[in-house]
A = this chain, B = another copy of it.
Amino acid sequence: MIPQPLQNLIKHLSKLPGFGPRSAQRAALHLIQSGESMATLQRTLLEVANTVQTCTQCGNIGLTEICHICTDVKRSPSQICVVEGVDDLWAIERSGIFKGHYHVLGGVINAMAGVGPDDITLGQLIHRVETTQPEEIILALGASVDGQTTAHLISTRLAHTGVTISQPARGLPIGAEVDYMDDGTLSIAFQGRRKFG
């Protein structure tokens, strides 16, 4: 009933995160019915495929073999911020709070999903710390079980290098309503309370 090329398109769209079979079908119909946007998307994909590459040093995404963060002389290579993915790197860059270098792990350890230490760029991180000897490693990983398991593993594997290992503070986010916060966040915020004013 649905033409084969269109079925293929729906199948490929439904593999995108956030899409299921029904939303992929709706998106495919939208693309067909506005012919211009299908051509544009197709050209854009081709351009991205031909230009965008992964930084061989930190794993960021850019237009050059070594990304603009790694080559920026105003940024300090003595601090390396370890993140799970490129989207975390972008979020930290948006905040403007960090002026060092990054290391993108490409995932976190998850035994259930079969993601082990060899499936992320942990080996490259250890090698990088051993050879470039930075002063500080900031583990900006998620405050989830997987994120914290990974943080512990990294800190164990880097112990022999003597590098300082830190992680962002935990507590109530800006604008938080106390009665909407989960127990874990409240516990960590109370345990880590600081003198007011």
User: Which residues of A line the B interface, CB within 8 A?
Assistant: 1-6, 8-9, 12-13, 15-19, 23, 25-33, 35, 37-42, 44-49, 51-52, 54, 61-63, 85-87, 90, 93-94, 106
| Identical subunits present | 2
Task: Give the residues in chain B near A29, CB-CB below 8 Å.
Answer: 61, 85-87
A3-B62, A17-B23, A27-B18 known; A45+B42 contact, CB < 8 A: yes
Q: Are B86 and A52 in contact (CB under 8 A)?
A: no
Q: Are B42 and A16 in contact (CB under 8 A)?
A: no
Min CB distance A72 to B, Å, is 11
Q: Are B93 and A33 in contact (CB under 8 A)?
A: no
Task: Give the residues in chain B near A94, CB-CB below 8 Å.
Answer: 1
- List the B residue with the shortest CB-CB distance to A42: B45
Q: In whole angstroms, what is the CA distance A143 to B106 when docked?
A: 47
Task: Give the residues in chain B near A49, CB-CB below 8 Å.
Answer: 35, 38-39, 42
Q: In whole angstroms, what is the CA distance A33 to B63 when docked?
A: 14
Q: Are B1 and A61 in contact (CB under 8 A)?
A: no
Q: Are A61 and B3 in contact (CB under 8 A)?
A: yes
A5-B52, A63-B3 known; A26+B18 contact, CB < 8 A: yes
